[in-house]
Amino acid sequence: MHDPSPARRPPAEPIFEELGIVRDPRSLFHQVVEQVLVAADLAALPHHQRIILAQPKNEVMVHFPVLMDDGHHRLFKGYRVQHNNALGPYKGGLRYHHRLALDDVKALAVLMTMKCALAGLPFGGAKGGVKCSPRELSEGELRRVTRRFCSAISHQIGPHYDVPGPDVGTDAQVMAWFADTYAQMTPEHSRQDSLGVVTGKPVGFGGSHGRDKATGQGLVEVLDAMLPELGLDASTISFSVLGYGNVGSWTARLLASRGARLVAVLDHTGAIREDRGIDADALEAHVRRRGGVEGFAEATAIDEASFYGTEVDLLVPAALEQMIDASKAAQIKAAVVAEGANAPTTPEGDAVLMQRGVEVLPAILCNAGGVTVSYFEWVQNRTATWWSAEEVDRRLRGHMHAAVERVKVARRRHDCDLRTAAFAAACARIGEVYSLRGVFP
Ligand code: GLU
């Protein structure tokens, strides 16, 4: 068992001080950078590389008006934060959420840098989005928001420079509108090349087979590679899922199709439990119709505390950031937590899970499948080729298992927890590139 003491925290302090960052414990960005700097220390990154990673390269913030259905214009706020592009073009999702804030976007951009490096992709990290409630917008409003947002940031992105993809609140349709808008703004003779400006597009419009399920599938591949050494088998485990959107529902459906038993689900509408097993496909259809798990007839409604207290082999947090704090972590009765969402566990929650011996499989490993198939889509767009669903599955498996191996090697080398090991493996790859390139001039 590794040492969970916080003795490795200090490496961040001198860097924060030097950069004039006043550490705010509620800032997700500060928390993530702190974790990265701890890992950068283990990976022996030189000082100049640490200060580069401690801040995003570019932070773009835009305001744009959109005509609403009732005839008035509303002003929206959009973001694109580009953290690092040492390994390749910036890459990361666009989130539409009513509480989207710059601090979160910066944190998520750092996580993309780390995730792409760990997954062995030729991409850096970015994140963006629009502060809005997509569920409350009509289809026409959503389309106009997307087109105006794309035009507002069109000079900051590009298929060879920064490639957005889907995230919470955006889907293949949003990516299609985005790609079409970008194409309209591209000179006719290079318009075909513009298709690769976003990934996660519909299969009929330059998308890749397997992108929709990719994050869930990548998570299942990680479980296949990690569970045996924890004495568990992905085809016989019981599990619960927090959030039943793209990541949660695909993970549940793919695990259930292998024989695993889904016993509890919690989302923004309520929680349900059925010890004999919940039909993951039927629940997905219900959520699509009703907007959440509430009212699903083939399971019993439970409260939030009972959800966390449900005894399972595996819990998959697949909702938003920071849902598992110290008090939730104390209630969890799972042997393993596999983070489907980005940063779902607070540092305090993490410490509690560690003390209680719960194995946490970190997000930058578990949810790397989405951006990996985004990379496949980008390669297909650039080479004008089409891969079969089987080809995508095969390549995804290879990438995920290689990433798991990198984490295991880093854990052995540094004798640390899996999260720190994943960040250390990512830092080592970025550090190697910076050492080879040097710093201009
Ligand atoms: N939103 C996804 C993530 O957090 C990736 C988006 C993309 O494919 O670029 O990993």
Question: 48 pLDDT exceeds 50?
Answer: yes
pTM summary value: 0.96
Interatomic CA distance for residues 207 and 192, integer angstroms:
14
Q: Which two tokens stand for residue 11?
A: 């490496």
**Prior bond of 441 cis (ω within 30°):** yes
Which member of 115, 127, 201, 213 is catalytic? 127
Residue range 58-191, CATH number: 3.40.50.10860
Amino acid at 255: L
User: In the chain, what's the furthest Cα-to-Cα distance?
Assistant: 65
The alpha carbon of 7 and the centre of ligand 1 are apart by a number of angstroms equal to 32
Torsion angles phi and psi, residue 414, rounded to 5: -105, -5
Would you state the pLDDT for residue 53?
97
Query: How far is it, in rounded angstroms, from Cα 146 to Cα 6?
Result: 43
What would the mean pLDDT of 228-235 be, rounded to a whole number? 94
For the chain, give every domain's residue range.
58-191, 214-361
Residue 7 has pLDDT above 90, yes or no: no
How far apart are the C-alpha atoms of 51 and 324, rounded to whole Å?
29
CA-nearest residue, atom 10 of ligand 1? 371
Checking 181-188 for CB contacts under 8 A at 24+ apart, the result is 181/146, 181/147, 181/150, 181/151, 181/154, 182/150, 182/154, 182/157, 185/150, 185/151, 185/154
CATH topology of domain 214-361: Rossmann fold (3.40.50)
pLDDT classification of 119: cutoffs 50, 70, 90? very high
Please say whether the dihedral angle defined by the alpha carbons of residues 207, 208, 213 and 217, taken in this order, is positive or negative. Answer: negative
Among 100, 112, 123, residue to substitute to test ligand 1 (most atoms within 8 Å of Cβ):
112
Rounded Cα distance between 215 and 372, Å, is 9
Indicate the top mutation candidate among 367, 375, 399, 400 to test ligand 1's pocket, ranked by most ligand atoms within 8 A of CB: 367
> What tens digit of pLDDT does each residue of 321-374 get?
999 999 999 999 999 999 999 999 999 999 999 999 999 999 999 999 999 999
Burial environment of residue 395 by CB neighbours within 10 A (0 to 12, 13 to 18, 19 or more): middle
Q: Is residue 86 scored above 70 in pLDDT?
A: yes
CA distance 267 to 26: 23
| Ligand 1 centroid from CA 128, angstroms | 10
**201 in active site:** no
By most ligand atoms within 8 Å of CB, the mutation choice from 374, 375, 381 for ligand 1 is 374
The Cα–Cα gap between 226 and 426 comes to 18
Report the separation in Å between the CA atom of 367 and the middle of ligand 1, taken as the mean of its atom positions.
8
Lowest-confidence region among 160-174, 188-202, 235-249, 327-341: 188-202
Q: Chain-centre distance of CA 361, in angstroms? A: 13
User: What digits encode the pLDDT tens for the residues 120-148?
Assistant: 999 999 999 999 999 999 999 999 999 99
Write out pLDDT tens, residues 206-221.
999 999 999 999 999 9
Give nearest CA residue, ligand 1 atom 8.
Answer: 371
The rounded Å distance from CA 419 to ligand 1 centre is 19
Around ligand 1, the residues with Cβ closer than 6 Å are 91-93, 115, 165-167, 199-200, 342, 367, 370-371, 374
H or E segment to which residue 84 belongs? strand 73-84
Q: Do domains 58-191 and 214-361 have the same CATH topology?
A: yes
Under a CB-based contact definition with an 8 Å cutoff, are residues 62 and 78 in contact? yes
